Amino acid sequence: MDKIDLTSTLDRVVGGRTAAKLAERIEVSTVGDLLRYYPRKYDQRGKLTDLAELVVGERATVWAKVVTIEERELGYGRNRSRAGGKRGVSHITNIVIADSHRRLTCTFFNQRHWSKQLRPGADAMFSGKVSLFNGKLQMSSPSVAILDDGRGNGDGVGAGAGTANGRAEKDKGASAIEVIESFPGGVIPVYPLVEGLTQALVQRCIRTVLDVLGDVVDPVPEVLQASHGLVDLGTALRDIHRPRTQEHLEAAQRRLRYDEALAIQLVLARRRADARNFPAEPCPRIDGGLLDEFDRNLPFALTIGQQLVGEIIATDLATIHPMNRLLQGEVGSGKTVVALRAMLQVLDSGRQAVMLAPTEVLAAQHARSLREVLGPLGRGGELGAPLEATTITLLTGSLSAAARRKALLAIASGEPGIAVGTHALLSEGVFFGNLGLIVVDEQHRFGVEQRHALRTRHPEGNPPHVLVMTATPIPRTVAMTVYGDLDTSILSELPTGRSPISTTVVPAADKPAWLDRAWERVREEVGKGHQAFVVCPKIGDDEGETSDDGSDLESDALGPADGSTDGPGGTSPRPPLSVTAVAQQLRDGPLAGLRLAVLHGRLPAAEKDDVMRSFAAGNIDVLVATTVIEVGVDVPNASMMVILDAERFGMSQLHQLRGRVGRGSAPGVCLLVTEGHENAPGRARLAAVAATNDGFALAEADLELRREGDVLGTSQAGRATSLRLLSLLRDKDVIAQARDDAQGLVGDDTKMSQWPGLADMVSEVIAAESQDYLEKG
């Protein structure tokens, strides 16, 4: 065999059939790919649960010896009920296992093969949920990994391995069987499995690959390895799969974690260098222009934060470095005014500005409020408008064909003005003749790649400045990775006169009277001339539990937490409440007589717009909606929000939602209605949301509560991804270190010609990213 390195294809090492299977199941095709398929965890003989420590209701893996095996054929009648009344059970195998402390019975139904595969004296791992049956601990149908089958063909783990492997091949049908071979130090790597893959197969392939692997070329410069005390790549790859000791394992993980951080930071450093290499057109402040005029007419004083950020942005825009700034600010902190002032500065330099929103509802709202705050200054081309007035063009699907053509022509001609639309504007190939600034509202639905695409849309060679705005607080490490190509500013204070939102959990199952009281409260708010939102997780009864954000982009990665809806004591199994059903019930019941309307992403654009317009105008009392209202909807007269099935939403999302009320002078009220019981896991999250108005604290807590994979959208086992070991939560230091290193390595050389190995790492991240986490943010 020729030399095998990380780029060799797997068929050369494990054979064509197995290679095809690996490619199909876990998308690995080279030796390097497979070696990046890291163990999910490591079991150690001494560290498995002792039988004495088993807890009823929990899952456990025990390593024990088989004591007895007893089989029973069941007939109908008496025996059937003894099998726990299980339908269709005709055969039971009871295997009693023991360690030095205690015994446990493992019960299998209709799995006749166990009596042939195990015999008294066999050594195996049993993994399953511990239950109590007739006063005794048992595991029902645990999965089994045989370490030594007890047939006397060896006394250790290793000795049984050869024969065991052969048997696994034969018994393809019995998928519960996993055969484990010998490992140095007794540390057993356990791989994430997908349908059609067994531990045994993955372990065998990894071993084969490691056995033939030659020298590994290390892309990370030796000086960096040395200064950070990292082991070389070859050692790390060997030790992550077959750790000799815990210390070796940790060193391997440290090295590979660093690589992940470095690869991402190299991508970002390269993007920053790219941006420097394509100068933007400077748009300095100009006296006596639209911006001055606007500031003079502003009905309120800017907050200190708005002034400071405004200064920073004004300076950014005036330089030849394209601005690439993230503006974070709590809901209601007044980001729109900041963005508008930036756009006016750009218009004053004779260039165009575009504002992108994630939904049509939001785009329409932006256009409306821009027109409002600009007053006569926004009526360019209309009779009686001031000479310097500019135009605001709303480009959405609801525009007539003629109006659309006219708008597109004006935009293409380079005529200065503001265009407002959804992100789709960019994919539809709208051509801007003279684009100076792109404002992206509600950044969390917009990925790095999309941002990059924006910046490179510069037909005449000058990339536009970019300002992205988000109300979703982003923990610092996430900001350093997913948003690492951006400079960041924060608007931390709310304009004065804002009323605080009070949030209360309404336990509808424990205290049904509270829910009645909630609807009464809605009537009272309406009686006072205010308006209310009712939010449901679903649109209608005919579709799945997909969240509706009304946009054509993928739904928010920080959206509803999976797993919040099951688990012990979780939500009732009834389907989530839907907008259509709830609206009907409210109309017929507790809110009869009020002016009710529905809003969700499936409505035609024109209808959505109509509904939002009448709600904003006060012609609708109660809006029953999906999370389509989550972002940016600004109706100051709305003072109350009732969120139904609240446990189905993520904490950050609940925070976003409630930010829609209390935007005027009336105090905001948010009710989180749940049928989950007192000690259900979802209840704790709701209590946390009710307890604080600090969006950053909730975002951090959200990140902690979920598996990070969910946050980044990478939880699917086996999916190609560039983030496997790195934790955005725990590895802040590694990320910061990698960021410095990356900056130094890239410098101004975006091709990284000095570091071909690193350049390859970057390509891999970009390939994974385009289908992966950076897309979602």
Binding site for ligand ADP (CB under 6 A): 300, 302-303, 306, 329, 331-337, 471, 495, 632, 634, 636, 663
Of 439 and 725, nearer to Mg ion (C-beta) is 439
Contact status, residue 228 vs residue 205, Cβ threshold 8 Å: no
* Minimal distance, residue 659 CB to Mg ion, in Å: 9
The DSSP secondary-structure symbol of 530 reads -
* Minimal distance, residue 438 CB to Mg ion, in Å: 16
The footprint of Mg ion on this chain (CB under 5 A) covers a number of residues equal to: 1
Place of tokens 């690869």: 263
Query: Which of ligand ADP, Mg ion, none does residue 331 bind to, with CB < 5 to 8 Å depending on kind?
Result: ligand ADP
Helix, strand or coil for residue 320?
A: coil
Query: Which of Mg ion, ligand ADP, none does residue 431 bind to, with CB < 5 to 8 Å depending on kind?
Result: none
Stretch that binds Mg ion, among 240-248, 298-306, 624-632, 754-762 (CB under 5 A): 624-632
Of 44 and 637, nearer to ligand ADP (C-beta) is 637
* 676 contacts Mg ion (rule: CB under 5 A): no
Q: Where are the beta strands (DSSP E) in 618-667?
A: 622-625, 638-643
Of 469 and 561, nearer to ligand ADP (C-beta) is 469
Three-state SS for 538-598 is ECCCCCCCCCCCCCCCCCCCCCCCCCCCCCCCCCCCCCCCEHHHHHHHHHHCCCCCCCEEE
| Sequence-distant (≥ 6) Cβ neighbours of residue 359 within 8 angstroms | 422, 549, 550, 551, 601, 628, 631
Query: Which of Mg ion, ligand ADP, none does residue 300 bind to, with CB < 5 to 8 Å depending on kind?
Result: ligand ADP
Judged by CB under 5 A, the residue of 160, 632, 682, 713 near Mg ion is 632
Of 302 and 490, nearer to ligand ADP (C-beta) is 302
> Exposed/middle/buried for 212, CB within 10 Å: 0-12, 13-18, 19+?
middle
Query: Which of ligand ADP, Mg ion, none does residue 337 bind to, with CB < 5 to 8 Å depending on kind?
Result: ligand ADP
From residue 303, give the alpha-carbon distance in Å to each of 194, 219, 300, 316, 507.
54, 49, 9, 20, 39
Stretch that binds Mg ion, among 105-113, 212-220, 627-635, 694-702 (CB under 5 A): 627-635
Contact status, residue 278 vs residue 452, Cβ threshold 8 Å: no
Cα(470)–Cα(328) distance, rounded to whole angstroms?
Answer: 5
Of 335 and 452, nearer to Mg ion (C-beta) is 335
* Minimal distance, residue 109 CB to ligand ADP, in Å: 57
Cα(534)–Cα(589) distance, rounded to whole angstroms?
Answer: 14
Query: Which of Mg ion, ligand ADP, none does residue 495 bind to, with CB < 5 to 8 Å depending on kind?
Result: ligand ADP
* Minimal distance, residue 648 CB to ligand ADP, in Å: 24
Query: Which of ligand ADP, Mg ion, none does residue 423 bind to, with CB < 5 to 8 Å depending on kind?
Result: none
Of 133 and 300, nearer to ligand ADP (C-beta) is 300
* Minimal distance, residue 255 CB to Mg ion, in Å: 43
Alpha helices in 357-420 (DSSP H): 360-374, 401-413
Stretch that binds Mg ion, among 282-290, 350-358, 631-639, 764-772 (CB under 5 A): 631-639
* Minimal distance, residue 632 CB to Mg ion, in Å: 4
Residue nearest to ligand ADP (CB): 334
Contact status, residue 388 vs residue 377, Cβ threshold 8 Å: yes
Query: Which of Mg ion, ligand ADP, none does residue 302 bind to, with CB < 5 to 8 Å depending on kind?
Result: ligand ADP
Of 436 and 632, nearer to ligand ADP (C-beta) is 632
**Nearest 5°: phi and psi at 187?**
-90, 120
* Minimal distance, residue 327 CB to ligand ADP, in Å: 9
Cα(525)–Cα(640) distance, rounded to whole angstroms?
Answer: 7
Alpha helices in 242-317 (DSSP H): 246-277, 290-297, 304-317
* Minimal distance, residue 300 CB to ligand ADP, in Å: 4
Cα(530)–Cα(535) distance, rounded to whole angstroms?
Answer: 17
Three-state SS for 106-138 is EEEECCCCHHHHCCCCCEEEEEEEEEEECCEEE
Which residues contact Mg ion (rule: CB under 5 A)? 632
